[in-house]
Every structure is written in structure tokens, then in C-alpha cells.
Structure 1
Amino acid sequence: MVIRTFGLSIVVTVVSLIIAYLYGGVEAFILCAILGVFEISLSFDNAVINATVLRRMSEFWQKMFLTVGILIAVFGMRLVFPLAVVWVTAGLDPVRALDVALDPPADGEAYFPDGSPSYETALTAAHPQIAAFGGMFLMLLFLNFIFAERDIHWLAWLERPLGRAGKLDQLAVVVALLALVLAAELLADDAHRATVMVAGALGLITYIVVNGLGSMFEIDDDELREEALAEDAGEAPRTGNSGPTQLATATGKAGFFLFLYLEVLDASFSFDGVIGAFAITSDPIIIALGLGFIGAMFVRSITIFFVRKGTLAEYVYLEHGAHWAIGALAVILLVSLGVHVNEVLTGLVGVVLIAAALISSVLRNRRIAADERNQTLSPIS
């Protein structure tokens, strides 16, 4: 099970480290390894959330997430996305942007003699837009979870009243928009205020549209499954179309939009990692190898491991801890509009919350097992 799940990630890690060594020697090898560990620790909450979505997908779409999805994560978010940001924000053509990325200015200067910004400078300049978009996407994900009523609570003293408050329609959107306005007014500087508002609104819209499409087709899928079961039992379907055929189509649509949702979610989680990587190195090749090939591959393997082992069902507070970690990350992204937040702190917050949720889950399981033993051993009155 472990070898089957993590085997490919281990092979990719070894190959990536070898490529890094051939590319830049021992220093590149070490930097690549550090970035891999950095991405895994920073994205552990991402793996938990991915698993909550992935377990609702068919085996086909799970495989798509591991194949096509990893290509998007590695080449799209860790390589092409930073270059695209430089193209747009610095006004450079793609060829010049690639030159800037691969050949930084001498002596660590922020600008080249011709006035072109360095790769790191251009990407850092785009941080307000990136933080606002990613922060709002993750904020709405967190709020929709925390404002929903559920049977199991981790931080019951806080989650129960928030779940009751969530009965107010669209409360999550209201709170998220309020957070965006406060961040733009209090943290963003005057030059970026309008940009932050637009980027944040786009993050909000993206979440609503992608999540809404997935939910819509999941509902259709449930209805069609009932029709297919009715046909199998010899009953007439409620529509004149073929139940099994429609079921396959609807499942495909639902899987596609859940897949799309996962990719946007992964992108939002990746923003802080890509930006934070520049504290370690500005070389896009090393960043792609460390964050993408090593980090992203292991995050996906951890996600699959959680799904196949039923970890979320066994350790019921993990999902709660991951969402609280997402809420913390969303706040950190918005706060970073005006205050620099160390990337190590960002990673530690998520790790601590997930570790606390895991420990709470273990204690809960032991308590339930002890109660069951006591009921078995106690005499029947």
C-alpha cells in the first residue's frame, strides 16, 4: 500500500535531485531538497482538504488528478504561472521574461541596466493581486465549512455557535467581503487598493462558480443514480432517457468540475509557496524541481493515501483542523498585503493545527473504545 502510493513520488524525488545536482552542483541539490520539504510541510493541510474532495470522485477522476493534475501543478503553477506573472506585471515579452528568470542581474540587483526588473522583483510586485485572490478563495472555503451545521465538532465551543450563525443566508460571502474591504483599506497601500479589491472579488467569484458547478452536477448525479437503480429493479424511470447512460454523463460532469475545483484549490495553496520560495532561491528551475516535482508529487501521494486508508473517517477531526489551517492561511495572505509574514510561520501554523486535530482524533477514538469495553464488561441489569 505504502510503496504503491508513494513509490512514484520517491522515484520522482530521486530523479529531481539528480537533475538539480547536474544542473547546479551540490548547492542546487541542497536547495532542491529544502524546497521539497518546505512545500510538503506547507501543503499538508492541502492534502487533507484534497482528500475530502477526492473521495467523492470516481477512480477515473482520481487517476486524472494524479496524472493530468500533477502536470498542471508542476508546470502550470510552479513554472508557467510565475513566468506569466512576470510577463504581465513587468510588461516583458515571454522570451525576455524567461531570460530574466534564468539569468538574474549581477550582484543581486533588483533591476537590469535596461530597467527590466529581476524575476524576483517582478513576482514580488504582483504579491498584492496574488494574496488577495488566493486569500479570498481560501477564506470562502473556510467560512463555508465553519458556518455549516454538522454532527461532529472539534472546537465545539466555537464551531457550534458558528454553525448556528450560518443559517443566515450567504453569511460566508458577507464575512469574506468584509474581510476584503478591511484588508484593502487598512493594509494595502493606496497604489494597490483598487487592484486588491478586483483580485479579491475575482477569487470570490472563482470559488462560487467552480464550487457551485461541482455541487450542481453532484445533485444531478444523485438523481440519475436513483433512476438507474429503479431501472435495475424493473421500475420505470422518471424520464424517458436511458438512466445508465445519463448517469455516466452526469458523473463525468461532476468529476470534471470537482477536478477543476481541486486544481484551483491547489493553485490557491501554491501562491504562498511560490512566493516564499524566493527566500531560498530565485532560480525557476530549482523552484520547479523542488516545489513541483518533489513537493507537489508527495502532496498528491499523501492525498491518495488518506483516501485509500480512510484516514479522514478514522480521524474525524483532521478535516476540521485542515479547514482551520486554511482559515489561518487566508488571514495570513490578507495580512501580508501590509505586513511581511515569515513563510516558516505560515507552514508551522498549518502543521500545529493539523497535529492538534490528529491528537484530538486519537484521544476521541480511545475514549470511544474504552466506553465500548466498559459497556461490554458491565453486567446487564
Structure 2
Amino acid sequence: MVLKTFGWAFGFTVLGLAVAVLYDGWAALGIVAILTVLEVSLSFDNAVINAGILKKMSAFWQKIFLTIGVLIAVFGMRLAFPVVIVAVTAKLSPVSAVRLAVDDKDRYQQLVTDAHPSIAAFGGMFLLMIFLNFLFEDREITWLSWIERPLARLGRVDSLSVCLSLIVLLIASMTVATHAHQHGGAHADKAQTVLTSGLAGLVTYLIVGGLSSFFENRIADEEEAQEDARKDIPAPSGGDGKPRDGRGGPSFAALTGRAAFFMFLYLEVIDASFSFDGVIGAFAITNDIVLMALGLGIGALYVRSLTVYLVRQGTLDDYVYLEHGAHYAIGALAVILLVTIQYQISEIITGLIGVVLIAASFWSSVRRNRRIAAGQGGRDAP
């Protein structure tokens, strides 16, 4: 199972390290290895979140996630994304931005660093929406019950997560955004940029997440209708008056395909949001775009493989609090991204916060499983 799931990651690691040595010697190999570890440590919580979504998808779409999705993650977010950011912020053509990344690495790094406020606002708001919607959802199993149960009751208020996210964005635009950190230690007023980018992140979540939920609910309705048909119970009609048993409405296969597609897009946007801090943090190690793409790309492939491994092993079903810990790590990362608009925070701190939260949720899951095995029941963690 391990070799089957991580085979591509192992193979790409060997290939990537070999390319690094041929490109710039043994020192480049060390840089790529460090970047790989950085990416995995920052994105472990991403793997847990993705696994919770990916387990709802078919084996075909899991393969798409590991193939086309990896190409998007490696070449799109780790290689093309910084170049696009430079092209947009510096008003350059894509070709000129690529030449700048190759020929003038210091200037390229400066432009990416100066674009950090907009990147952080977009990613921070997207991740904050994921965290708040999880926190306000009423669920049977809770980890920190004293927090989650009262907040689940508050979650019955419509659009509460959107309102809170907008409040956080407004506060960020009036505080950290007015003294946004720029290259060389300078500061600039980026309030309007942060507001615009944050709203873009919020709208992106609402569109992609909303479409995913819509088609997922359609699938659930279709499955229920088919189950009723098998029991010789008349299937409920849809809003258009047509039967929803597959004879008069859209086919079940088509619904599955569209739902899986939008869930795939949702996964890609989540991955993009998680990759922001890794891409920016990589500049503390190197400003060579080739080494950055190799190191972060290898790390991204391990994270993808880990996601599929968690799904196939049923880890989230066995350790039920893991998903809670990962969402708390997402909330922490969202706050950190917004804070880094003005203040520099070490990637080590960011990674450790995520690791600690997931480790704590894993240990709580182990204790719960032991209580169940001992016949004491699976009480929620305090």
C-alpha cells in the first residue's frame, strides 16, 4: 500500500534531486531537500482536510487528483504562480516575468515579497471561511466540546461565517494593512489592496464551495430517490414537477461527474491557499525559481500522496478528531497569514502550530478508541 501510494513521490524525489545536482551542484540538492521538508511540514494539515473531501470522490477522481492535480500543484502554484504575481504587480508580460526570474533573481524576489499583502489577504480569507464553516456546523462528534457545541448553536444564524470574515477583513485593512511589510524592511499602506484581495478570496470560496455543496446535495437527493424506487416508494418530485428517479431529471452519472469536478476545483483552491505561505517562505532559503519549484513540487507530491493514503486506509474514520485538529490548524494559518501582512513570522512557528494541533487531535482520538475498546463509550474529548 505504501509503495503503491507513494511510488510517484519516491520516483519524483530521486529525479528532482538528480536534476538539482546537475543544475547547481550538491549545494542545490541540500536546498531542494530543505524546501521539501518545509512544504510537507506546512501542508500536513492540508492533507487531512483534503482527505476528508477526497473520500467522497470516486477512484477515478482520486487518480485525477494525483495526476492532473499534481501538475497544477507543482507547475501551476509552485512555478507559474509566483511568475504570474510578478507579471501582474509589476505590469510585465509573462515572458518578461520569466526572464526576470531567471536573470535578476533579487528583483524577482523583491516583487514577490511586495505582493505578499494581496496574497496573504486572499489566502487568509479563503482559509478563514473553511475554518468558520466547520466551527459553526452542528456535528455529532466534537473534539473541544466546550467550544464547538455553543458555536454550533450560533451557527444556526444565517451567513454568520461570512459576516465574521468581513469583520476580520475590515479590521485587518485598518490595522496590519496600513503598515504592510515590504522588501528591505520598508512599510506601505496596502489597505485597499488587502480589502480587494480579501473580498476576492471570500467570493472565490462562496462560488467554488457553494457549487460543490450544491452538486453534492443533488447527488444525495438522487441516491435517496433511487433508494425509494427500489423500495417501490414513489420518488419525490423536484421543483419543476418532474420525477427525481433518473427518468425525468438529470442522470445520476452526470450529477456525479459535475459534483466531482467542482469538488476537485475546491481541492485545488484549498491547495493554492495552503501553498501561499510555502512559496513566500521559500524565498528565505533561495530565490532560484528552479530549485524552488523542485523542492516545493516534491513536497506537494508527498502531501498529495499522503491525502490518498489517509483515504484508502480510512484513517479519518479511525481517528475521528484528526479532521478537527486540521481545521483548527487552518484557522491558525488564516490568522497568521493576515498578521504577516505587517509582521514577519517564521515558517517554523507556522509549521509547529499545525503539527501540535494535529498531534493533539490524534492523541485525543487514540484515547477515545481506547475508551471504546474498554467498553466505556466514545465520549467526546473535553
Tell me the equivalent position of 1:67. 67
Q: Deviations over 1:318-365 (max 9, x none)?
A: 000000000000000011111111111111110111011111111111
Tell me the equivalent position of 1:114. none
Q: In structure 1, what residue type is equivalent to 2:143?
A: W
Tell me the equivalent position of 2:258. 253
Tell me the equivalent position of 1:158. 147
Q: Deviations over 1:192-226 (max 9, x none)?
A: 10110010011001001111101111111122223
Report whether the alignment pairs 1:200 with 2:204: no
Give the structure-1-normalised TM-score: 0.91
> What is the CA-CA distance between 1:163 and the residue it aligns to?
1.4
* Contact 2:225–2:244, Cα closer than 8 Å, also in 1: no
* Structure 2: distance between partners of 1:315 and 1:242: 36
Tell me the equivalent position of 1:302. 306
Q: Report sequence identity in percent.
A: 55
* Contact 2:43–2:303, Cα closer than 8 Å, also in 1: yes
* Contact 1:225–1:243, Cα closer than 8 Å, also in 2: no
Q: 1:127 aligns with which of 113, 116, 128?
A: 116
- Structure 2 residues without counterparts, runs of 5 or longer: 179-187, 378-382
Tell me the equivalent position of 1:264. 269
Report whether the alignment pairs 1:361 with 2:359: no
Q: 1:324 aligns with which of 314, 322, 328?
A: 328
> What is the CA-CA distance between 1:234 and the residue it aligns to?
6.1
> What is the CA-CA distance between 1:230 and the residue it aligns to?
4.5
Q: In structure 2, what residue type is equivalent to 1:222?
A: A
* Structure 1: distance between partners of 2:372 and 2:229: 41
* Structure 2: distance between partners of 1:336 and 1:43: 18
* Structure 1: distance between partners of 2:336 and 2:8: 33
| RMSD of equivalent CA atoms | 1.7
* Contact 2:222–2:245, Cα closer than 8 Å, also in 1: no
- Structure 1 residues without counterparts, runs of 5 or longer: 111-117, 374-381
Tell me the equivalent position of 1:173. 162
Q: Deviations over 1:56-102 (max 9, x none)?
A: 11111111111111111011100111001111111222222112111
How is 1:1-381 mapped onto 2 (pairs within 5 angstroms)? 1-104=1-104, 110=106, 118-189=107-178, 191-232=189-230, 238=237, 239=242, 243=246, 246-292=251-297, 294-371=298-375
Q: In structure 1, what residue type is equivalent to 2:196?
A: V
Q: In structure 1, what residue type is equivalent to 2:220?
A: D
Q: Which SS does the other structure have where 1:43 is aligned?
A: helix
Give the structure-2-normalised TM-score: 0.91
The alignment covers a number of residue pairs equal to 361
> What is the CA-CA distance between 1:174 and the residue it aligns to?
1.1
* Structure 2: distance between partners of 1:139 and 1:242: 38
Farther off after superposition, 348-357 or 242-251: 242-251
Farther off after superposition, 89-98 or 133-142: 89-98
* Contact 1:228–1:247, Cα closer than 8 Å, also in 2: no
Farther off after superposition, 124-133 or 218-227: 218-227
> What is the CA-CA distance between 1:170 and the residue it aligns to?
1.2
* Structure 1: distance between partners of 2:218 and 2:148: 30
